[in-house]
Amino acid sequence: MATRVDVALDLPRTRQLSVGMKAYAEELAARLPRVAPDLRFVTLERHSALGVEEQIAVPFALRRAKARLVHYLSVYAPLAGPRPYVITIHDLIHLRFPAYFKRTVGPYYATVVRMVCARAARVITDDERTVADLQRFLGVDPGKVAIVPLGVDATYLAEVTAVSPARPYFLNVGNHRSHKDLATLFAAWEALDPACEADLVLTGDDDLPQGTAHPRRARGELRFIGNVDAVRLAEFYKGAVALVHPALCEGFGLPMLEAAAVGAAVIACDDAVPAVLRPYVDVFPPRDVRTLAALMARALAEPRARDEARRLARTLTWDRCAERTAEVYRTVLQESPSG
């Protein structure tokens, strides 16, 4: 007689997922069988979302797996999948700032995502800040939300050699979409004392949103370094005056955790900082150029060790994320009539 599967993981490998969402899904799928040997897993991989496969093929495949529980590792989930299930929703930035996204996003969340959440046994999210958004926008009962912080890649836990720049530099890591609010970062960098030498380094290509002007300083340069691997990125974190993260909102914000893990200073918009990192991050109000410029100037003038942040960040591993996720599974399975 075949051994019954406890948990089926719906692993999306689609273009709709951000770098952070992909990392989360891949890390959990790889680690859960090892950290939770009492549970039997099957992983169902798919390469599309928002279409026929999601709403028809995925439920069919999940029913064939006959798992006691399903985990949708992203917000892209079918309406008619087998129950019980849990779903991970990292954030609701699309609903908080609808003007920055396609018009079709809102209706999808208001119909598909809202209904999927209503039927879910648990909704997993990264940080307590998202709980209120889940209730406000999707009607999710806070009592069925499980908060599971993300993890840091092992690359950032190793000893790192900092890059050796010609000038001190501030670093920004991530995509360049409008809600990342690079305009505030650019204005703050330009507002630094003209006598200060400081570059501004951004990962990715020079693909700024339309209408975003390139900032200029007499004693500094704006540089785009393209997509760099984790080893090289760790070196950039280590060498930076600070990681500056002006995004108006984040689900978790992996770059802040990565920077903290190598001992770099972090300056971020108040609404973007996860609760676990808040004591170790210098924060400024959304779009507040003056306060951000003051924090950047202080970081240049008074560099200091970030050992406490580094120690905390190093406890937030992907193994820990997987272990806490498995705890959610066990609870749901115990509540299930077939559990």
pLDDT tens-place string over residues 145-154:
999 999 999 9
- Global model pTM greater than 0.75: yes
Among the listed residues 267, 273, 262, the one whose alpha carbon sits nearest the alpha carbon of residue 309 = 262
Angle between helices 19-35 and 254-261 (to 10 degrees): 70
Phi-psi region of 204 (alpha: psi -120 to 50; beta: other; left: phi over 0): left
Phi-psi region of 12 (alpha: psi -120 to 50; beta: other; left: phi over 0): beta
Task: Give the list of residues 6+ apart from residue 214 with CB closer than 8 angstroms, or none.
Answer: 186, 208, 222
- Residue 261 CA to residue 176 CA, distance in Å, equals 23
**Percent of the chain residues topping a pLDDT of 90:** 70
pLDDT of residue 80: 86
Q: What is the pLDDT of residues 31-68, one digit of tens each?
A: 999 999 999 999 999 887 777 777 888 888 889 999 99
Helical H segments across the chain, by residue range: 19-35, 52, 58-65, 93-96, 105-108, 114-119, 129-138, 182-190, 230-239, 254-261, 289-301, 307-313, 318-335
| Range with the poorest average pLDDT among 95-109, 167-181, 271-285 | 95-109
State the distance between the two ends of the chain, measured CA to CA, in whole angstroms. 19
Q: What is the pLDDT of residues 65-82, one digit of tens each?
A: 999 999 999 999 998 889
Alpha-carbon distance values, 158 to 154, 237, 281, 328 (Å): 7, 13, 21, 30
* DSSP annotation of 83: S
Q: Which one-letter amino acid corresponds to residue 195?
A: A
| Range with the poorest average pLDDT among 272-281, 284-293, 318-327 | 272-281
Question: Residue 297 is encoded by which pair of tokens?
Answer: 């100037």
Q: What is the pLDDT of residues 207-237, one digit of tens each?
A: 888 778 899 998 999 999 999 999 999 999 9
Q: What is the pLDDT of residues 83-112, one digit of tens each?
A: 999 999 999 988 988 888 888 888 889 889
Domain 7-151+317-334: which CATH number of 3.40.50.2000, 3.40.190.10, 3.30.60.50, 3.40.50.970:
3.40.50.2000
pLDDT(266) > 70? yes
Mean pLDDT of the chain: 92
Q: What is the pLDDT of residues 298-338, one digit of tens each?
A: 999 998 878 888 899 889 999 999 999 999 999 999 998 76
* Helix, strand, coil abundance in the chain, percent, nearest 5: 40, 15, 40
- Residue 279 CA to residue 283 CA, distance in Å, equals 10
Classify 269 as helix, strand or coil.
strand
Question: Residue 184 is encoded by which pair of tokens?
Answer: 């505030």
Instruction: Identify any residues that bridge with 267 across adjacent strands, giving them in sequence order.
Output: 244, 282
Among the listed residues 297, 263, 296, the one whose alpha carbon sits nearest the alpha carbon of residue 280 = 263
Cβ neighbours of 181 (radius 10 Å): 21
User: Where are the domain boundaries for CATH 3.40.50.2000 in the chain?
Assistant: 7-151+317-334, 154-313
Report, at the CATH architecture level, how domain 154-313 is classified: 3-Layer(aba) Sandwich (3.40)
pLDDT of residue 1: 43
Question: Residue 52 is encoded by which pair of tokens?
Answer: 């026929």
